[in-house]
């Protein structure tokens, strides 16, 4: 069992930055790819970013490319999401998740992820 705890969310004006953290416990995350998803009120949870086991490969949703950066420090059992140039449409609850499957075209699908955190709220004002 892996427990994931997101933190770092908050209220920020458009154009500002936030850095989210996902701290894992119960098991080392070095065997997992990790991803961030987000869910706005009344909308489906959507893929944001993914990072492979050693941080050598990353993938991003088109909506956040060039603005968000996912990273990980396996020695700290932690994954990060640096969010720059934030927009009001980035407002959502952000979730961290684990993925033990090999990389494929299905990496954006929620069903392939094994464990999820409780989420952290990000609110971007206009």
Q: Please enumerate in sequence order all residues whose Cβ is within 8 A of that of 54, keeping only pairs 6 or more positions apart, or say none.
A: 74
**12-16, 53-57, 68-72: range with lowest mean pLDDT:** 53-57
Would you say how long the chain is, in residues?
126
Q: What pLDDT is attached to residue 87? A: 98
23, with CB counted inside 10 A (0-12, 13-18, 19+), is middle
Alpha-carbon distance of 44 to 81, in angstroms, equals: 20
pLDDT band at 42 (very low <50, low <70, confident <90, very high): very high
Q: What pLDDT is attached to residue 115? A: 95
Alpha-carbon distance of 64 to 76, in angstroms, equals: 25
Q: What pLDDT is attached to residue 102? A: 81
pLDDT tens string 30-41: 989 999 999 999
pLDDT band at 8 (very low <50, low <70, confident <90, very high): very high
pLDDT band at 104 (very low <50, low <70, confident <90, very high): confident
pLDDT band at 103 (very low <50, low <70, confident <90, very high): confident
- Bridge partners of 68, per DSSP, are 83
CB count in 10 Å sphere of residue 7 = 14
């Amino acid at each position: 069992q892996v427990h994931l705890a997101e933190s770092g969310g908050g209220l920020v004006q458009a154009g500002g930055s936030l850095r989210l953290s996902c701290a894992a416990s119960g098991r080392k995350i070095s065997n997992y790819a990790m991803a961030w998803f987000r869910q706005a009120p009344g909308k489906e949870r959507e893929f944001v970013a993914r990072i492979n086991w050693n941080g050598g490969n990353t993938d991003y949703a088109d909506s956040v490319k060039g603005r968000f950066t996912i990273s990980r420090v396996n020695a700290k059992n932690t994954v990060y999401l640096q969010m720059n140039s934030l927009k009001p449409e980035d407002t959502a609850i952000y979730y961290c998740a684990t993925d033990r499957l090999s990389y494929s075209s299905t990496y954006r699908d929620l069903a392939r992820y094994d464990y999820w955190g409780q989420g952290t709220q990000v609110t971007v004002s206009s």
